[in-house]
Amino acid sequence: MLVPKSTAGAALPLLLSSVSTLCAAQPNAQTGDQTILSNEIQRISNQSLLWGPYNPGLYFGMRPRIPKSLNIGLIWGNLDDFQTAQSSFRHTCEQRDNMKGYGWVEYDPRSGGKQVIHDQGNKLDIQIDLVKVPGGKNGGSWGARVKGTVRPSVLETVRTSAIFYASLEDGTLVLENEPDKLGLLGSVNLKGNAPGLDDFHIEVTEGPETNSPPMEIDTRMEGLENEHSIKRSLYKVGAYPAQHIWRVKNILFMDLKARFDKLMSHFGEPGKLPPPWHALTVPPVYGEGNLHYVQKVFEGDFEFDILFSSDSASKPITSDVVTEGIKENEDSFGARFDSIFKRHAPFNTAEYGKFARDLFSNLLGGIGFFHGDYLVDRSQYPEDEEEFWEAAKANREMDLGQLEGPSTLFTSVPSRPFFPRGFLWDEGFHLLPVIEWDVDLAMDIVKSWYNLMDDDGWIAREQILGDEARNKVPKEFQTQYPHYANPPTLVLVLTKFIEKWVNHTSHEHPSIQGDISQILSQISGLDSGNDGIRSAILGAAEPYLRNIYPLLRRQYFWFRETQAGEVRAYDRKAFSTKEAYRWRGRAPGYCLTSGIDDYPRAEPPHPGELHVDLISWMGFSARLIKNIAIALGEMDDAREYGRHEEAILRNIDDLHWNAEHGCYCDATVDSFEESVHVCHVGYVSIFPFLLGLVPHDSDKLGSILSIVGDEEQLWSPFGLRSLSRQDEFYSKGENYWRGPIWVNMNYLAILRLREYGSVKGPHQKTAARLYKELRKNVVNNVFKNWKETGFAWEQYEQETGKAKGVQHFLGWTSLVVNIMSLPETVEITPTPGKAHDEL
């Protein structure tokens, strides 16, 4: 909840002070009881979130939230001919895979869902239904139904190889079936034990009778010694170094090549080889090892189940349970989604409903668990001299990064094929839809991010944990630098969390109440199917905030120290000589650390620069941490943050407002050592507005709204451009943030327009009009491109609205789900100060 300064100064702190007093007055809200409650909520929540498709860079990759544990995945490929087979095997999500769209069409991390993969290159549609079943003390059981259907337009016979695999870094995993050189009949059964999972069983079923192996059998194969049968499941186990076990597709290909070479040796030349559905199969190997896979070869449609059963559950999961669970998930997901994300006109139709569910499901389906070491260069690269970037570049080329860690991170990812890892700048936006669905899940992710913080308060902006993650990142971008910041967008989520806490506490919540023993009894009865666990953390918000408050404070002061800018040295006139900020990590043409990489800044870079977007983030952060301190009764801290907030808001105007351009501008130092503005009208120019730091009655608001609504500057039929059409750098160079439309910035603009349009003032009608039009433009453009391509995209072309950049970008583009849930028009608020939404 964020209201203009003129009203927010009293409204939210007063509410939080009341909440703090209320909590202190309730016997069952004492610190000890609250901590017990918080721990129990976390335990129950961890059970329902232990397992998931937490390797989102794979089309299907199941793992628990346990480091060095069990990984289960799926690889498939077309075996119609050798040439096709060379490039047809799917495992990691890749933009080059010629998909007609793929992803989760319904998904809840606590219960499962449905993923559909339109693999036109392999002539198949793959459907994977995931069902999670609570039970026992090790995260329950789960089943995945894998269903391949030949695409309707395909007339020829389609032959497919489907490979299940399970790898275990720490523990034991063995085959229960009797070995057979021909392959295994019926289900393939594995049993294992691993830390955090204890004893478990895995079953790969044979599937229904409609499953069929290729009908064309090559009789020449029958004369080969120890030849296996493609009518059976082909099992192989191998022992590999734990640090390389994630390269399962490479290992499989080595086995297939060995098989191919053996056949070439026997038959003499490629033209005499058996067909690929015989040649590209894995001969059975039995014994011990840490990588197990099961290959099945099909002709036409196929289906089989992967069943994981925790032995701590009362009974194992079965295919019948999966069938029932699929129906339950289908019924419950849609109903719950529509009740939480109530779409308003003109988006309250069935096709927009499917669009919204797809985008949101894929956002949740991009949540992953990552573990590993990471590269950090802790050398000091001072940026206080002119041409500082030259020395920094030379130091980076020396490649001084050292491995640290390991660390773990639970996070969503911006894009499964292109960015399958955590990004600090993105994550705050990712969690804004998530917190509406599952408060506990969102705050678990927030806590995971803050737990990465080092002793100084630094969190690396890009989390590249382990060899598997580094494999997807060019070497020059792998090393992180502890003096480089990134927008602290998690403050957006914490602001929303506080709003929900205030609402929860100020209304008597009937779902969970009583003394601590009664509450614990109620909590222990919750499971993944109970909505109570998703919001139970609101009943233990105080210990949660007390736990992360020191980390918030540490990070806040890290920003103040490491990203400080100069006021006195260049004789700048401002209310405060301390509240000025500069992103470190600048280079000619770029400021990657700001998140808006190539947006025009001062050229050349200068140590005297000041950046309006960074000071805006600091103002928003000061306001948030002040409100948290009030809620926790840390009044001395709250007064300190309040002074910072006031000084920052004053300095935003004193240091950055440019009357001639009618917007906020960066500052730099010219050749006469005088401070001058650098004005490139675009997202940076309206950043104080985007974060709600401009009072509704400010005379500056009218100028900002004029820029926002001007078709020759930011306004387009598809959303707000990142840079004005009139700017000299518009659409030039890399053209990443020099014109293209980004949904996250448009989302903030829509919220602010709604806010300013609902408060009486001279610009209310203009803001209300722009709100209605911008909301419609942004959603319609993302929807149109989704219908045409099957994907959400990273950005949209500023003149045509066409999708561009990274495909399957469900990060902040999924914010259109929240946008559709906003009202079509602004409701007029008679009394200033009535907050409406979100931030």
User: What pLDDT is stored for residue 487 in this prediction?
Assistant: 98
Reply yes or no on domain 57-331 having CATH 3.40.50.11540.
no
| Beta carbons of 395 and 455 less than 8 angstroms apart | no
pLDDT at position 539, please?
Answer: 86
Answer yes or no: are the C-beta atoms of 652 and 684 closer than 8 Å.
Answer: no
Q: What pLDDT does 30 receive?
A: 53
Tell me the average pLDDT of the chain: 92
Cα gap 58→67, rounded to integer Å: 18
Q: What is the pLDDT of residues 810-826, one digit of tens each?
A: 999 999 999 999 999 99
Cα distance between residue 424 and residue 403, in whole Å: 20
Farthest CA pair distance, the chain:
91
Q: How far apart are CA 638 and CA 635, in angstroms?
A: 5
Segment 268-301, tens digit of pLDDT: 887 888 999 999 999 999 999 999 999 999 999 9
CATH number of 5-43+348-820: 1.50.10.10
Among candidates 330, 432, 446, which has minimal Cα distance to 814?
432
pLDDT per position as a tens digit, 298-357: 999 999 999 999 999 999 999 999 999 999 999 999 999 999 999 999 999 999 999 999
What average pLDDT does this structure show over 707-714?
Answer: 98
pLDDT above 60 (res 547):
yes
Look at residue 153 and tell me whether its pLDDT is greater than 70: yes
Would you kindly state where each structural domain of the chain is located, as residue ranges?
A: 5-43+348-820, 57-331
pLDDT, tens only, 36-79: 767 777 787 789 999 999 999 999 999 999 999 999 999 999 99
Q: What is the pLDDT of residue 498?
A: 96
Distance CA 230, CA 217 (A): 9
Going by C-alpha positions, the residue among 634, 628, 637, 588 that lies closest to residue 609 is: 588
pLDDT at residue 126 is higher than 70: yes
Task: Supply 715's token pair.
Answer: 């306004």
pLDDT in tens, 581-591: 999 999 999 99
Tokens of 816: 């259109």
Cβ contacts of residue 399 below 8 Å, gap of 6+?
479
d(CA 338, CA 41): 26
Residue 20: the pLDDT is 57
pLDDT number for residue 9: 43
Q: Are 126 and 258 in contact (CB under 8 A)?
A: no
Q: Left, alpha or beta for 362 (phi > 0: left; psi -120 to 50: alpha)?
A: alpha
What are the pLDDT digits (tens) for 600-641? Answer: 999 999 999 999 999 999 999 999 999 999 999 999 999 999
Residues known to be catalytic: 597, 794
* Closest-CA residue to 162 (of 203, 126, 201): 126
The CB density around residue 363, as the number of other CB atoms within 10 Å, is: 28
Q: What is the pLDDT of residue 270?
A: 79
Q: What is the spatial distance between Cα 431 and Cα 812, in angstroms, rounded to a whole number? A: 9
**pLDDT value for 8:** 40
Spell 271-282 as b/e; 16+ CB within 10 A means b. eebbbbbbbbbb
- Tokens 């060379």 locate to 86
Say what the pLDDT of residue 10 is.
46
**CB neighbourhood size of 624 (10 A):** 25
- Distance in angstroms between the alpha carbons of the first and the last residue of the chain: 4
Residue pair 437/360 in contact by the 8 Å Cβ criterion: yes
Same topology, domains 5-43+348-820 and 57-331? Answer is no
